[in-house]
Amino acid sequence: MIKDTRLILALDVTDRHQALKISQDVKGYVDAIKIGYPLVLATGKDIIGEIAEMVPVIADFKVADIPNTDRLICEQVFSAGANALIVHGFTGSDSLKTCVEVAEVHGADIYVVTEMSHPGALDFMQKVAEDMAQLASNAKVAGVVAPATRPERVQKIRSIIGNDIAIISPGVGVQGGSAADAIKAGADWVIVGRSIYLADDPKKAAMEIAKEIKDAIDQ
Ligand code: C5P
């Protein structure tokens, strides 16, 4: 993924026309668009390729299965045109290795969830987040997902993975996280959904967050 604005749009809308319009509007202001179950279940998997023609697509299916099923899912996602796929780490090294192998064949990237951005992530995920960061680092994935709602956790996960793999960080805006704080804590990209796609002017909202990120880097 080319590091320019360092902003990723989480496009969790369920209307095809709206999804394509917003993608066109924010093109140039986001480095990728993350799409997941809401949009793909509502509109079909061809939407992956349609958006990927405009902006690189990260498919957020949080894949979590045995290696063979993971392989079948990865093949479908990358054949549909996704540039990257988010998978869970808790299924272990064999499942993750399979996802990385399929991604390599397609010239695509894998991102591993370490700790989610919502409060419920403290119930189970945070306890194993650092182990999953290490697992991701060992598997030489493109990056991990770490919570902008807890910049200190972004910092901790950065200290485990070093600088060889990236951190993409959701939770900015509606969930309470700050783009500037996440970037300063060590995130390479922030992921923003509702604060952009629910805005009256999604392009303007994306431009403002991109500026906040740039100002944080320039400080
Ligand atoms: O609308 P909002 O900006 O809160 O969207 C955040 C996006 O990031 C959603 O698509 C959500 O599923 C996703 N996400 C997250 N925490 C993770 C991984 C993904 O919030 N750890």
- pLDDT confidence bin for 219, thresholds 50/70/90: confident
CA-based torsion, 3, 71, 158, 192: positive or negative: positive
Would the pLDDT of 92 be above 90? yes
Most ligand 1 atoms within 8 A of CB, residue of 117, 126, 190 to mutate:
117
The three-state secondary structure class of 9 is: strand
Q: How far is the CA of 168 from the centre of ligand 1 (A)?
A: 11
Q: How many CB atoms are located within 10 Å of the residue 17 CB?
A: 9
Q: 120-137: per-residue pLDDT in tens? A: 999 998 999 999 999 999
Query: Can you read off the two tokens belonging to residue 104?
Result: 């390599």
Compute, in angstroms, the gap from residue 60 CA to the centroid of ligand 1. Answer: 9
Q: How far apart (Å, rounded) are the C-alpha atoms in residues 1 and 82? A: 12
Residue list for the binding site for substrate? 12, 34, 60-69, 117, 170-180, 193-194
Share of the chain above pLDDT 90, in %: 97
Output DSSP code: residue 164: S
By annotation, the residues acting in catalysis are 60, 62, 65
Distance, CA of 182 to CA of 188 (rounded, Å):
9
Closest residue CA from atom 17 of ligand 1 = 116
Q: How much is the ipTM here?
A: 0.92
Mutate to test the pocket of ligand 1, among 26, 191, 196 (most ligand atoms within 8 A of CB): 191
Angle at 147 between CA 177 and CA 124, to 5 degrees: 125
Distance 175 CA to ligand 1 centre (A): 9
Superfamily of domain 7-218 in CATH is Aldolase class I (3.20.20.70)
Asked if 213 and 179 count as a contact pair (C-beta separation under 8 A), the reply is yes
**pLDDT tens profile 162-216:** 999 999 999 999 999 999 999 999 999 999 999 999 999 999 999 999 999 999 9
Query: For the whole model, what pTM was predicted?
Result: 0.96
CB-defined site of ligand 1, < 6 Å: 10, 12, 36, 60, 113, 116-117, 145, 147, 170-171, 173-175, 191-195
* Cα 200–chain centre separation: 24
Q: Burial letters for 23-59: b for 16+ Cβ neighbours within 10 Å, e otherwise?
A: bebbeebbbbbbbbebbbeebebebbebbbeebbbbb
pLDDT band (50, 70, 90) for residue 10: very high
Query: 64: exposed, middle or buried (C-beta count within 10 Å: 0-12, 13-18, 19+)?
Result: middle
- Per-chain mean pLDDT for the chain: 97
Q: Which residues 6+ apart lie within 8 Å of 34 measured at CB? A: 8, 9, 10, 11, 57, 58, 59, 60, 86, 191, 193
